[in-house]
Amino acid sequence: MTERELRALIEKVREGRLERRRFIQRVVGLGLTAPMANMLLMSQGIAQTPAPLAYKPTKRGGGGTLKLLWWQGAVHLNPHFAGGTKEQDATRIFYEPLAGYDAEGNLFPQLAAEIPTRQNGGLSADGRSVTWKLKRGVKWHDGKDFTADDVVFTAKYAGEPATATVTVATYKDIKVEKVDSHTVRVTFPKPTPFWAQALCGTQGMILPQHLFAEYIGAKSRENPVNQKPVGTGPYKFVDFKPGDMLRAEANTGYHVANMPHFDAVEVKGGGDAISAARAVLQTGEYDYAWNLQVEDEILKRLEAGGKGKVAITPGANIEFIMLQYCDPWNEVEGERAHAKSRHPAFQDKAVRDAMAVLVDRKGVQDFIYGRTGVATANFLNNPSRFRSPNMKFEFNVDKANQILEAAGWKKGSDGIRAKGNTKLKFVYQTSVNQPRQKTQAIVKDACAKAGIDLELKSVTAAVFFGGDFANPDTYQKFWCDMQMYTTTMTQPDPEVFMNQYTSDELAQKANKWASRNISRWRSDEYDKVFAQVQSELDPVKRAAMIIKLNDLVCSDNYIIPVVFRPRVSAAGTRMVAHLSGWDNDTWALSHWYKEATG
């Protein structure tokens, strides 16, 4: 299908001459996914109200306690400080955005009364503004009314640089103003195709102005509500032990009738992915377990017990290795891995190119991940329309040796290559997790054959992903040579996902390491193309630009993709858990329930 033909089809849908479902059938037949087709139409102001989520209970409560296992326990409960998935998921129990994303990539109203479209006057034709009508009758957990003032405040809070939120890039350049008590208008400085980035999904949790206004800016981390949330969601805060246990009770005043089904929620942190899988699939002690990064053969054996089922949810998560752009061992202006420094070895492209062919991605897929991880050369793998056909990967130890030898990196008497005073000896860290330790071992073995010595470091997940600003071992600080983890894509549009390599997002001491560019890699060309992506309304041109972003970062080999990971979780046989690969696991927790026995 040509660019012109695709644009013509979109116009037919806009004008009512082609049914939405027919459009989706045609483009899916050409290799796109249904979520991408929906996102294409939404970017053009053609949204729809998604199908209701299945929900059988006819009254609020009565479901007992919902027992969840997030084996990486949350350490705080402010959604705009949530640099990791575990905090995003935990805070979504209490806070809600204007809309979330269902499994098909449709916007699903939560605090919004409806999804803005061109037809209902919510979206401007020039892509510069969106008007949201808010749901009435919603109350905060402390009984105060939810109004437009809270939405306006949330945007101001998140967009204030001194507040040091992880969502600052979403809000710092937009204007959110109150139209009336239950209507807000978002104005963008330029045409904005992904208008649903602000106030929706993981980026959009609305905060109560009356509890956060005093803590905007430098005092943001001092707010006691960061640990005792007061939201509008289906469950109210009871108790929290960071990294261990989170308890909540049903919000009896929740703004959706007959919800929630469960009387209470317990979220247990700690442990590991295998024990979490066993607790659902083998013993039935828990109802749901998150993020089962477990060897596929183990999952299959556990599932055969019949007490639970494995859920594999399509999305765009990527397990990857990050090579340090800066110098993590020496301070510049009192800061390790300062943006002004360069890594003594990895600044040589030959070393990075050698590292890329020393990662046996296909072996990692075949012997560790199976159906839960697909070897890839791309950082961005889904939706398929944005997947680059240009990147290729190979595993070739001989080639790595040739690259390094030609670049002047010679083996010493200890077998380790060096040039001048710089040796190819690196610290390679990740979280404690069996597939990750096995992946580390595979990479270490290949590197040893090429004269590169890797010291493997495994950090407890609660620390590695903990966001503790005093701890040197967090992935946000990245105070080592290499690290590996999974980054998640929580919208069907890749714009937010790809902003983590922009210069504006450098994680550093000044922003409490809360910004998203943890690698500190930067490129003027990348910044320029990303700025174009943010304002290009033509979906075909924009997709080509996003592919170029992927190619720029992957071809430089500071970022080495390993496997593209669908989300893997487990639920008890009676559990109905509504999951989406484009939002938090807990995005629709109000709709979770257990089927009746018998």
- Architecture of the domain defined by 314-490+554-566: Roll (3.10)
Q: Quick one: tokens of 409?
A: 């990196």
Q: Quick one: tokens of 378?
A: 């791309």
In what helix (H) or strand (E) does residue 349 lie, and over which residues does it extend?
helix 349-356
Backbone angles phi, psi at 328, to 5 degrees: -85, -5
Domain boundaries, the chain: 314-490+554-566
The answer to whether 454 touches 447, Cβ cutoff 8 Å, is yes
298-329 as b/e, with b when 16 or more CB fall inside 10 Å?
bbeebbeeebbebbbbebbbbbbbbbbbbbbe
Model pTM greater than 0.85? no
Print pLDDT tens along the chain (598 aa): 666 777 788 778 776 777 777 787 777 666 566 666 776 776 666 766 677 899 999 999 999 999 999 998 999 999 999 978 899 999 999 999 999 999 888 899 999 999 998 889 999 989 899 999 999 999 999 999 999 999 999 999 999 999 999 999 899 999 999 999 999 999 999 999 999 999 999 999 999 999 999 999 999 999 999 999 999 999 999 999 999 999 999 999 999 999 999 999 999 998 899 999 999 999 999 999 999 989 999 999 999 988 999 999 988 999 999 999 999 999 999 999 999 999 999 999 999 999 999 999 999 999 999 989 999 999 999 888 889 999 999 999 999 999 999 999 999 999 999 999 999 999 999 999 999 999 999 999 999 999 999 999 999 988 898 767 788 999 999 999 999 999 988 888 999 899 999 999 999 988 888 888 999 999 999 999 999 999 998 888 999 999 999 999 999 999 999 999 999 999 999 999 999 999 999 999 999 999 987 5
The answer to whether 572 touches 288, Cβ cutoff 8 Å, is yes
Backbone angles phi, psi at 341, to 5 degrees: -95, 165
CA distance 126 to 444: 52
Backbone angles phi, psi at 80, to 5 degrees: -90, 0
The answer to whether 96 touches 111, Cβ cutoff 8 Å, is yes
